[in-house]
Structure 1
């Protein structure tokens, strides 16, 4: 999760949406 925050802080604004989608997909995989 620490690497995620680093990527989030350094990623351009147009890549933040992809990071959010990737995080949501990981949460869905954990829940289901």
Structure 2
């Protein structure tokens, strides 16, 4: 795996992590 691919995977992982955090926050607001 070259560095460019590793950077892309890290970027995608960060975006997914942020999306999950935001989704859980929004879901928490609606559940209440």
TM-score, reference length from structure 2: 0.56
Equivalent pairs counted in the alignment come to: 22
Give the unaligned 5+ runs of structure 1: 1-10
TM-score, reference length from structure 1: 0.56
**Max radius of gyration: which structure?**
2
Q: CA RMSD in A?
A: 0.8
Give the unaligned 5+ runs of structure 2: 23-32
